[in-house]
C-alpha cells in the first residue's frame, strides 16, 4: 500500500520487493491509476478536520438524550473514485450513542440515498478506518474535497455499488471521537445508533423501525460489523436487522495483532495501537511501561497519520526494537484486554454471511474457521464462504457482487438458509457465493 497517487502510478516496483506487500501495493495502485484519480482537490478551500470542525461538538445537554437522537445535521458531498462527487443525496448526522463503558458518546454518521426512486432498505456500512487519528474517520475521508481519499478508495467503491442497488446507507464513525480502534461493544452501539438516527431522519425517506436493515463491513470494518450483530438483540431489539455480511476479519484480535509484527503489514501496529491504548487503560499502562523513547515517538507519529502512510512507511517493523521486553512477553501480559475484544460469546439473532480468502496474508484463515465454529456452536445462523484464489485486498473487490446479492435478498424479505454451512469456492468473483 502506498501513500500517494505518484507512488501508486509510478513507483510500485521500487516501493517494496517482498511478495505479500507488493501484491497489495499493485492491486491498490491499479485502482488509482485506472480511475485517474487525483488525491487532492486543487483550488478548493481545505475542509476542517474533525478536531477543528464545530459540527462535531454536541450541544449542551446532549448526554441526557436517548441513544440514536440526532444532535446536528448538515448536507455534504461524498466523493467518488472520479473527480466528481457521488451521485447521491448525502448528509452527516451528529448523534448520541454509547461508548465501551456504557457512557454517553457523540459521533457522526454519513448517510446517503439514491437521488431518484424509492429507497428499499438501509445498509449500515462499517468502513475499515484502521487508524486512530481523527482525520481518518469516514465522515472526513469520504467527503468531496478531503485532502487524500486514498484511504477511503475501497469504501467509495463499496458505497457506489450499494447505492446502485437502491438502498440508503449509513457510514458511522464507529471508532468515536477518541479514535478508539478495536474496543468491545462500542462499534456495535455506534452502528446501531447510527441506524436509529438514519431511520428518524426524514430526508432519507425510510419507514422508521419498519425499515429492513443490513450491516456490512470488510477487514477492519468487519470488527465493527461483528459487534453490531453481537450487541443488537440486547441493545437495539426494535431494529429489523435482517442480515449481516462480514469479510476479511471475524477472527480474534490478539493473534492478528501479534502476527503483524515484523511482517509486510506491521505498519498497522502504530496505526491501531494508540487508539486501543486510549480505549483501555490496561493496555496503556502496559505499553507505557515498556515502550522505549523511540517507541513512544513511533506511537505518537502513528497516532497522527492514517492507515496508508503508516503501512507504507513501516513495513517489516520489529516491535522488539521499540520495547524493553520482547513483544511476545508484553502481549502475554495483556491477554485479558485482548480477550475482551473477541465476539462470539452469544449467538446473534440476525443471519450472518461470512467470507474470507483461504490465502489471506493479513488474517489467517484458520482463525476465522475457528471463530465461525464457535459462533455456530452458540446458535448463530451462518453462511460461510472460503475463497481459494483471492488474498486479503483482492477479495474485497471480487466478493462485492456476491455479497450484495445476499444483502439484497435479505432486504427484500427472502429468508437466509437455516443453520450453519461452509463451502470453499475457487473464486467469489466467478459467481461462487
Question: How far apart are alpha carbons 206 and 257 in whole angstroms?
Answer: 39
- What's the CATH number where 309 sits? 1.10.260
Residue 392 lies in a domain: yes
Contact by Cβ (8 Å): 186, 224 = no
- Within 8 A by CB and 6+ apart from 19, the residues are none
Residue 44 lies in a domain: no
pLDDT of amino acid 105? 98
Residues 154 and 289 in one domain: no
Residue 45 lies in a domain: no
- Within 8 A by CB and 6+ apart from 140, the residues are 47, 49, 50, 134, 146
Contact by Cβ (8 Å): 387, 399 = yes
Residues 80 and 148 in one domain: yes
Question: How far apart are alpha carbons 80 and 143 in whole angstroms?
Answer: 9
Say if strands 104-114 and 212-218 run parallel, antiparallel, or are unpaired: unpaired
Single pTM value for the model = 0.90
Spell 252-261 as b/e; 16+ CB within 10 A means b: bbbbbbbbbb
Residues 380 and 231 in one domain: yes
Contact by Cβ (8 Å): 47, 143 = yes
Looking at residue 48, the DSSP 8-state letter turns out to be P
Residue 46 lies in a domain: no
Residues 303 and 323 in one domain: yes
Query: Which residues span the domain enclosing 294?
Result: 253-339
Residues 239 and 175 in one domain: yes
Residue 42 lies in a domain: no
pLDDT of amino acid 433? 58
Residues 185 and 214 in one domain: yes
- Residue among 243, 232, 341, 271 at smallest CA distance from 128: 271
Residues 165 and 94 in one domain: yes
- What's the CATH number where 232 sits? 3.40.50.1820
Instruction: State the total domains in the chain.
Output: 3
Residues 161 and 272 in one domain: no
Asked whether the CA dihedral 85, 86, 88, 93 is positive or negative, the reply is: negative
Residue 196 grid cell: 436509529
Residues 62 and 211 in one domain: yes
pLDDT of amino acid 2? 30
Residue 197 lies in a domain: yes
- Residue among 32, 268, 49, 218 at smallest CA distance from 139: 49
Question: How far apart are alpha carbons 100 and 279 in whole angstroms?
Answer: 8
- Domain-terminating residue out of 305, 339, 373: 339
Residues 276 and 335 in one domain: yes
Residue 180 lies in a domain: yes
Start-to-end CA span in the chain (Å)? 28
- Domain-terminating residue out of 279, 309, 339: 339
Residues 291 and 240 in one domain: no
Question: How do the pLDDT tens digits run along the chain, 433 residues long?
Answer: 333 332 333 333 333 333 343 344 333 433 333 333 334 444 557 899 999 999 999 999 999 999 999 999 999 999 988 889 999 999 999 999 999 999 999 999 999 999 988 898 999 999 998 899 999 999 999 999 988 666 788 899 899 889 988 999 999 999 999 999 899 999 999 999 999 999 999 999 999 999 999 999 999 999 999 999 999 999 999 999 999 999 999 888 888 898 899 998 899 999 999 999 999 999 999 999 999 999 999 999 999 999 889 999 999 999 999 999 999 999 999 999 999 998 876 779 999 999 999 999 889 999 999 999 989 998 899 999 999 999 998 999 899 999 999 999 999 999 999 999 999 999 998 865 5
pLDDT of amino acid 44? 59
Looking at residue 85, the DSSP 8-state letter turns out to be B
- Residue among 171, 169, 162 at smallest CA distance from 137: 171
Residue 413 grid cell: 424479505
Residues 276 and 265 in one domain: yes
Residue 101 grid cell: 463503558
Amino acid at each position: 500500500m502506498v501513500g500517494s497517487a505518484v507512488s501508486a502510478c509510478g513507483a510500485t516496483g521500487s516501493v517494496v520487493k517482498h511478495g505479500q506487500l507488493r501484491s497489495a501495493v499493485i492491486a491498490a495502485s491499479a485502482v488509482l491509476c485506472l480511475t485517474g484519480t487525483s488525491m487532492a482537490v486543487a483550488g478548493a478551500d481545505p475542509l476542517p478536520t474533525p478536531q477543528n470542525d464545530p459540527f462535531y461538538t454536541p450541544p449542551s445537554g446532549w448526554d441526557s438524550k436517548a441513544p440514536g437522537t440526532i444532535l446536528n445535521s448538515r448536507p455534504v458531498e461524498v466523493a467518488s473514485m472520479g473527480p466528481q462527487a457521488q451521485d447521491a443525496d448525502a448528509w452527516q448526522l451528529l448523534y448520541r450513542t454509547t461508548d465501551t463503558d456504557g457512557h454517553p458518546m457523540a459521533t457522526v454518521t454519513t448517510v446517503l440515498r439514491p437521488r431518484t426512486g424509492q429507497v428499499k432498505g438501509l445498509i449500515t456500512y462499517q468502513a475499515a478506518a484502521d487508524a486512530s487519528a481523527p482525520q481518518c474517520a469516514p465522515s472526513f475521508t469520504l467527503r468531496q474535497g478531503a485532502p487524500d481519499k486514498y484511504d477511503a478508495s475501497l469504501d467509495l467503491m463499496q458505497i457506489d455499488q450499494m447505492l446502485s442497488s437502491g438502498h440508503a446507507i449509513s457510514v458511522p464513525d464507529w471508532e468515536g471521537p477518541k479514535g478508539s480502534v478495536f474496543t468491545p461493544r462500542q462499534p456495535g452501539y455506534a452502528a446501531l445508533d447510527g441506524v436509529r438516527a438514519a431511520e428518524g431522519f426524514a430526508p432519507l425517506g425510510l419507514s422508521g423501525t419498519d425499515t429492513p436493515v443490513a450491516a456490512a463491513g470488510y477487514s477492519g470494518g468487519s470488527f465493527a460489523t461483528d459487534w453490531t450483530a453481537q450487541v443488537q438483540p440486547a441493545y437495539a431489539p426494535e431494529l429489523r436487522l435482517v442480515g449481516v455480511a462480514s469479510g476479511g476479519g471475524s477472527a480474534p484480535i490478539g493473534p492478528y495483532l501479534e502476527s503483524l509484527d515484523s511482517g509486510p503489514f506491521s505498519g498497522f501496529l502504530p496505526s491501531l495501537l494508540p487508539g486501543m491504548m486510549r480505549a483501555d487503560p490496561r493496555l496503556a499502562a502496559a505499553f507505557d511501561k515498556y515502550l522505549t523513547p523511540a517507541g513512544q515517538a513511533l506511537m505518537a507519529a502513528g497516532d497522527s497519520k492514517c492507515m496508508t502512510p503508516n503501512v507504507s512507511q513501516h513495513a517489516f517493523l520489529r516491535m522488539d526494537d521499540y520495547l524493553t521486553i520482547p513483544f511476545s512477553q508484553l502481549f502475554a501480559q495483556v491477554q485479558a484486554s485482548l480477550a475482551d475484544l473477541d465476539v462470539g460469546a452469544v449467538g446473534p439473532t440476525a443471519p450472518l454471511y461470512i467470507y474470507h480468502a483461504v490465502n489471506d496474508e493479513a488474517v489467517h484463515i484458520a482463525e476465522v474457521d475457528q471463530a465461525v465454529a464457535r459462533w455456530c456452536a452458540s446458535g448463530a445462523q451462518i453462511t460461510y464462504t472460503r475463497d481459494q484464489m483471492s488474498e486479503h485486498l483482492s477479495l474485497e473487490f471480487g466478493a462485492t457482487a456476491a455479497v450484495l446479492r445476499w444483502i439484497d435478498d435479505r432486504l427484500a424479505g427472502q429468508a437466509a438458509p437455516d443453520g450453519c454451512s461452509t463451502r470453499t469456492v475457487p473464486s467469489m468473483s466467478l459467481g461462487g457465493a
